[in-house]
Homo-oligomer: A and B are copies of this chain.
């Protein structure tokens, strides 16, 4: 009845849980919080919060700022922030037309990044990952030279990544199949001690999007990533829903158009993927999506018709998703971000007709708020999230040195 084999709670678990709780409060706050603020929000006493914060400060995960004057009676609070430039996480990505590396610190700031354009369809995994290791080495060197500790690395790939056993199973648009990316990367000396966590590109981009939306009401949504293929991810209360193997959210392969029989019919990608969009708009694929955006913005009929059709397909497919997972917001990311204005109307039209619960809770369609290359940011955030969930390894008990 009660889920899986839960863990016994001992005295130490309690301390670690509260340590994580306090660190989470500092990380998630929109503006710096004080020990007293954390005490009020969590219900822990100020004494307890102080002890935990001191440990986090001593281990370099949290930094104290100078007290600032507030027009209010009483002693001035010491603002607490995630320690900048102390611990860094690295997000890497290989996609169809670029690869790159981005390093982020606990404060969420980008410390260093390298992006390279290219065409990696049908590429050789070993060669591409070798190049990725090279530029990762450059980024890591920058971090090490300023004395930062590396929390870990993550690699985003546009395909099915097996969360349990490790390897990349299938990346159709790269032409990769059964690639042990962790081994290929780890064999390079610069990444030897830092085996990357693998995850799907859309899942990690969705994590960055959830991070960008923290503090707002929309912490549950379906993220649609329109790159060459169409990826997706389901976010519930700020957490990525991964499924059994981490293969959830593969909305690009939802079946549509099956009137004749159940054996025909194409997938969503065949209606709303980038190639399908360009073809339907009568534009050469080589021009890239920018051409389509421009054509649509000046009102080119073929382009508008293509986008309307793609929007309907997206709306229909996502109505099915919403009926199954009951989520109230759809976020258009990747290339769809720039097409959101053209896609929204036909999407909403389909959603309003197909979503069973529409009369009691409309489904909103919005554009992504995370910046460029969200999967790299999301990969780094995924690593940091593990650190926040279990800070004890980074904040040992004996690190309670004298405070400054």
In the complex, which of the residues B28, B43, B162 contacts A8, with contact meaning CB atoms closer than 8 Å? B43
Q: Which chain B residues border A350 with CB–CB below 8 Å?
A: 262
In the complex, which of the residues B5, B249, B360 contacts A169, with contact meaning CB atoms closer than 8 Å? B360
Q: How far is the CB of A400 from chain B (nearest CB, A)?
A: 20
In the complex this chain forms, how many copies of it are found? 2
Q: Which chain B residues border A328 with CB–CB below 8 Å?
A: 244
In the complex, which of the residues B24, B246, B258, B359 contacts A2, with contact meaning CB atoms closer than 8 Å? B24
- The answer to whether B27 touches A6 (Cβ under 8 A) is no
* A388 and B1 in contact, given A255-B319, A259-B258 (Cβ under 8 angstroms): yes
- The answer to whether A256 touches B253 (Cβ under 8 A) is no
Tell me which residues from 129 to 178 in chain A have a Cβ below 8 Å from any Cβ of chain B: 160, 162, 169-170
Q: Which chain B residues border A43 with CB–CB below 8 Å?
A: 7-8, 10
Q: How far is the CB of A42 from chain B (nearest CB, A)?
A: 4
- The answer to whether A259 touches B248 (Cβ under 8 A) is no
| CB of A225 within 8 Å of the partner chain | no
- Among all A-B residue pairs, the 3 with the closest Cβ atoms: A243-B326, A259-B259, A2-B24
Q: List 22 A-B contacts (CB under 8 A).
A: A1-B24, A1-B27, A1-B28, A1-B214, A2-B28, A4-B219, A7-B42, A7-B43, A9-B18, A14-B14, A160-B356, A162-B360, A170-B357, A248-B325, A251-B323, A253-B323, A254-B320, A254-B323, A255-B316, A261-B312, A262-B316, A325-B325
